[in-house]
Amino acid sequence: MRDKAILYDATLCTACRACQVACKQWNENQAVKTTNQGSYENPPSLTPETWLKIEFREVEREGKLAWLFSRRACMHCTDAACVKVCPTGALSYNKLGFVQYEKDKCSGCGYCAEFCPFGVPQLESNKITGAAVMSKCTFCKDRVTNGEQPACAAACPTGAIKFGKRTELVQEGRERVAALHQTNPQAVFYGDKELGGLHVMYVLDDAPEVYE
């Protein structure tokens, strides 16, 4: 009952990327060069310095092009492959439900990156020593354990990213999709049961595979 989660509603997202900027700013991660194309490749991908990315898809609907937006970052799985394979305890479950990460314990083995079904953990290697270390979204542990929202949720201007009790967000996600079904039968609520239940859940206006 103490579990906290994030609900991302793609139908409310305008792809303003305020969440990306807030994530970078709060975590003091370096900026990366992007192009002003408004495309799927902006920024190119998750990296050790980019933990959250808003992605674009162009799809055809009823003969017209439509934009689909989605959020890519750690899903904070309840049954997390990364936690299972981490040999050092760098990855573990926080009592609030999310997957926490202690970077100073990371051995750079890369098992988390290999086994994560979402391709989230990013390894960075020292060019001289070859030593590696992983980086990923931390769920803003320093904020949420002190009663604050994650930086991405706090920055979202449209309410597309919501933070709160997981049970309440599950109910909200189900109700939102039920309402969307009146005009869009393709709408999906994703994350309620997958991998034991995700702590980042999605209201999507199309099937999950469309966003891959």
pLDDT confidence of residue 41: 59
| Average pLDDT for 117-143 | 89
Between 130 and 193, where is the model more confident? 193
Average pLDDT over residues 59-72: 86
Q: Tell me what pLDDT residue 5 has.
A: 97
Least confident window among 51-65, 68-82, 91-105? 51-65
Q: Which of 19-28, 34-43, 116-125 has the lowest mean pLDDT?
A: 34-43
C-beta of residue 177 within 8 angstroms of C-beta of residue 203: yes
Mean pLDDT of 174-181: 97
pLDDT one-digit tens code per residue, 150-176: 999 999 999 999 999 999 999 999 999
2-37 pLDDT, tens digit each: 799 999 999 999 999 999 999 999 999 998 877 666
Q: CB-hemisphere CA count at 13 Å for 175? A: 6
The residues pairing with 47 across neighbouring beta strands, listed in sequence order, are 50
For residues 48-69, average pLDDT: 88
**Given a cut of 70, is residue 77 above it in pLDDT?**
yes
Rounded Cα–Cα distance for residues 187 and 9 (Å) = 11
Q: Mean pLDDT, the chain, as a whole number? A: 92
Beta-strand ranges (E) seen in 35-166 are: 53-61, 64-72, 91-93, 99-101, 122-125, 132-135, 161-165
Q: Is 121 left (phi over 0), alpha (psi -120 to 50) or beta?
A: beta
Instruction: Report yes or no: 81 and 120 within 8 Å, Cβ to Cβ.
Output: no
Asked whether the beta carbons of 33 and 13 are under 8 A apart, the reply is no
Residue 40 pLDDT > 70: no
Question: DSSP letter at 196?
Answer: G
